[in-house]
Amino acid sequence: MKKAFLTGVTGQDGSYLAELLLAKGYEVHGMMRRSSSFNTKRISHIAHSLQDPASRFHLHYGDLTDGSALNRLLKTIKPDEIYHLGAQSHVRVSFDVPEYTGDVTALGTLRLLDAIRDANIAAKFYQASSSEMYGLVKETPQNEETPFYPRSPYACAKVYAYWITKNYREAYGLFAINGILFNHESPRRGENFVSKKITHTVARIKAGLENKLLLGNLQAVRDWGYAPEYVEAMWRMMQQDNPDDYVVATGEAHTVQEFVEEAFRLVGLNWEQYVSTDPRYYRPSETPTLLGSYKKAKDKIGWEPKVKFKELVKIMLEHDLKEHGLTLS
Ligand code: NAP
Ligand code: G4F
């Protein structure tokens, strides 16, 4: 039985990937950090089996800032595949905690790669690289060859993590790869990312619990896909014989305002009556527009997106309305 080790198992992608790997028959080991309140909401439906001695799902405490814990975990678990999804992943927040973001998101990746070497295991390694690395984009659409121009401490940390992954592949022959994923969302998306903030608030407005939605830059353009499909792409990349880097995207771009319009349209409300902008949600430097080409992923690993923009908004909104006992008519 194959063993997988996941950082970021409590996050959006970690939770979907854990489900996928369990369904494929893997033994799954997830690393979670200690928190004063429960941070296992997204995996509670699979974590309930933890007491069962036959469970193939295991949780371990650890932190990307703690290299000795990472070393110990890899030496003990000896995984076949490592999916490194843990990060301080919020772009706006990275301007407030730049040093911490560098420590977790950049150096955390180095610590984990070094732990593979120390444990002397032949594990395959997946790095959760980001389209944010393209920042002030040099060409459109962006692909695996497009130069980076990061625009936030988060994106700078991800550029470091990208290159250290590639360096360990070249220097030490590790099967270490970068999935360069464009924005991907789902009902499990964190509530302070714009997609979830919009669908969550629109559902509350429809339920009569809220009467305004405060946002930042409505003209930002993103290539939004559906998270469960993106974790499938991660797994496919890791099943290849040779390590390589891949862009995962939908090839469709929409503004934040279009996301807002579609969500309000679905519940039959006029968005302009509810939405205002607030300087708190702008970034000191923005990534104005992102649009990815998934051609290489389609050609080499047979992956392509199925859920596109309108269906994504609908999936997220339907989920959030259900929380209030409402449905789309
Ligand atoms: P997420 O929901 O924010 O999850 C991040 C995960 O990292 C959580 O499990 C979090 O734990 C964990 N984490 C944070 N700090 C940590 C630390 N110091 N030590 C150990 N774990 C820590 O992010 P996501 O959307 O699932 O994204 C997964 C990965 O893909 C991230 O690396 C992200 O940067 C990258 N990425 C995401 C997208 C996207 O659109 N979603 C696109 C490209 C790349 P807690 O639950 O305790 O906070
Ligand atoms: O939803 P966002 O916060 O995502 P962002 O910054 O694109 O980052 C996400 O995707 C990256 C991949 O490209 C990941 F690497 C990263 O970890 C994360 O998952 O913001 C999307 C856009 C931005 O341009 C932002 O300025 O929406 C704009 N926006 C407008 N109003 C807002 C808001 N963003 C947030 N979070 N909150 C707002 O009120």
- Per residue in 62-105, pLDDT tens? 999 999 999 999 999 999 999 999 999 999 999 999 999 999 99
Q: Please state the atom number of ligand 2 nearest to the C-alpha of residue 87.
A: 17
Q: Please state the atom number of ligand 1 nearest to the C-alpha of residue 65.
A: 18
- Residue among 130, 186, 195, 293 flagged as catalytic: 130
Q: Please state the atom number of ligand 2 nearest to the C-alpha of residue 130.
A: 15
Nearest ligand to the CA atom of 155: 2
Q: Which residue minimizes the CA distance to atom 37 of ligand 2? A: 194
pLDDT at 329: 78
Q: Checking DSSP bridges between strand 124-130 and strand 81-84, what pairing results, if any? A: parallel
Low-confidence spans in the chain with pLDDT less than 70? none
Tell me whether residue 162 is one of the annotated catalytic residues.
Answer: no
Tell me whether residue 81 is one of the annotated catalytic residues.
Answer: no
pLDDT at 153: 98
Cα–Cα distances in angstroms (integers) from residue 194 to residues 104, 259, 263, in the given order: 23, 9, 12
pTM: 0.98
128 lines ligand 2 (CB under 6 A): no
Q: Which residue minimizes the CA distance to atom 43 of ligand 1? A: 130
Tell me whether residue 145 is one of the annotated catalytic residues.
Answer: no
Contact between 184 and 226 (Cβ < 8 Å): yes
